[in-house]
Amino acid sequence: MAPMTGLVTSDAYTAHLTGAGHPESPDRVRAIVAKLRDAGLLDRTVPIAPRPVTEAELLRCHSAAYLRIVREDVAEGLHKLSTGDTPLSAQSLETALLATGGVLAAVDAVMAGRVTNAAAIVRPPGHHATPTKGMGFCVFNNVACAARHAQAVHGVKRVLIADWDVHHGNGTQDIFYADGTVMFFDTHQSPLYPGTGSRDETGAGPGAGLIMNRPFAAGAGRAEIVGAFRDELVPAADAFRPELVLVSAGFDSRIGDPLGGFRLTDDDFAELTAIVKGIAAKHCGGRLVSTLEGGYALDGLAAAVAAHVQALCG
Ligand SMILES: [Zn+2]
């Protein structure tokens, strides 16, 4: 069977409103889908329908108390999550449930062999959400719930999560810090929000050594980030032997992003994609799911996602 790439997206992802001028805007998804259409990539990918994540699926990563807070904050009409800097609107809960569920649907499609790999173009993003706290424009930790879903439903033992967003994926790190079944590799700008992610945060207990943070100063680009993926992630993955590869694909590490100072180009995102694809091909039959995290310059975001999806298809 020729490799096939799945694509999760939906107009419903524009229903989470963040207010005029907020960088994490519904236009992000609109810009990406328009670019994928123009580039012929909607025709080259297999659509995967998202579905809402269930409470039981969220409870694999989040506390019941936090889920209650989200429901209550939205029901009370708050404009911001009470746990952190994530804007809310009337449809935010439904949209966030569909964002996490969309990534789970992509995992199901990949694990069933309907597609080889998949990209989930969802929002709100997820990698800052901890077990007990939404923050950093995130409500639920989409990628972490996807890892737990693969383990609980598909019998996957070891999951690699690679995160190339310009910000540290503190929520993902928190969830798996002492886990031992999930390797987390994260390149990010430092100093920058949220302030975590130093090289000496390496995991604990059974997870010791499975958290790999690679912080770089503003101005870093291909040499540092592609270099870290090629020279450090690839050998670490060879030792870990993942059975599924997940990617927190943030494109605020692209040159020109208003929230970050990295200088990655669209070609660099294609190369990062090729590296994680190579890991998946070597260890787990190509099984890889990426999920959209940040990326706030609309044209740059759309171009970078197109380069990423094209590389997944290629
Ligand atoms: Zn980010």
Pairing of strands 159-163, 244-249: parallel
In whole angstroms, what is the distance from residue 188 CA to residue 169 CA? 9
Tell me the residue length of the chain.
Answer: 314
Residue 224: name the closest of 215, 213, 237 by CA: 215
pLDDT at 2: 58
Tens digits of per-residue pLDDT, 189-222?
Answer: 999 999 999 999 999 999 999 999 999 999 999 9
- Taking the centre of ligand 1 as the mean of its atom positions, its distance from the CA of residue 302, in whole angstroms, is 15
- Find the radius of gyration of the CA atoms of the chain: 17
pLDDT at 206: 98
- Taking the centre of ligand 1 as the mean of its atom positions, its distance from the CA of residue 53, in whole angstroms, is 23
Structure tokens at 44: 């080259």
- Taking the centre of ligand 1 as the mean of its atom positions, its distance from the CA of residue 138, in whole angstroms, is 10
In whole angstroms, what is the distance from residue 65 CA to residue 193 CA? 25
- Taking the centre of ligand 1 as the mean of its atom positions, its distance from the CA of residue 310, in whole angstroms, is 22
Structure tokens at 288: 């890889």
What are the two backbone dihedrals, phi and then psi, of residue 304, each rounded to the nearest 5 degrees? -70, -40
- Taking the centre of ligand 1 as the mean of its atom positions, its distance from the CA of residue 177, in whole angstroms, is 20
pTM over 0.95: yes
- Taking the centre of ligand 1 as the mean of its atom positions, its distance from the CA of residue 124, in whole angstroms, is 12
Residue 145: name the closest of 135, 130, 123 by CA: 130
- Taking the centre of ligand 1 as the mean of its atom positions, its distance from the CA of residue 215, in whole angstroms, is 13
Q: By the 8 A CB rule, do 5 and 312 touch?
A: yes
133 secondary structure, DSSP code: B
Q: By the 8 A CB rule, do 248 and 159 touch?
A: no
Q: 10-residue block means of pLDDT along the chain (314 residues)?
A: 87 98 98 98 98 98 98 98 98 98 98 98 98 98 99 98 99 98 99 98 98 98 98 98 99 98 98 98 98 98 98 95
- Taking the centre of ligand 1 as the mean of its atom positions, its distance from the CA of residue 260, in whole angstroms, is 8
Active site residues: 128
pLDDT at 3: 73
Tens digits of per-residue pLDDT, 262-275?
Answer: 999 999 999 999 99
Residue 194 falls in which region: left (phi positive, over 0), alpha (psi -120 to 50) or beta: alpha
Structure tokens at 188: 């990010």
Report H helices in the chain: 27-38, 41-44, 55-58, 64-75, 92-111, 142-154, 170-176, 222-228, 234-240, 266-284, 298-313
Residue 34 falls in which region: left (phi positive, over 0), alpha (psi -120 to 50) or beta: alpha
- Taking the centre of ligand 1 as the mean of its atom positions, its distance from the CA of residue 255, in whole angstroms, is 13
Q: By the 8 A CB rule, do 118 and 106 touch?
A: yes
- Taking the centre of ligand 1 as the mean of its atom positions, its distance from the CA of residue 249, in whole angstroms, is 9
Number of alpha carbons in the 13 Å side-chain half-sphere of residue 49: 1
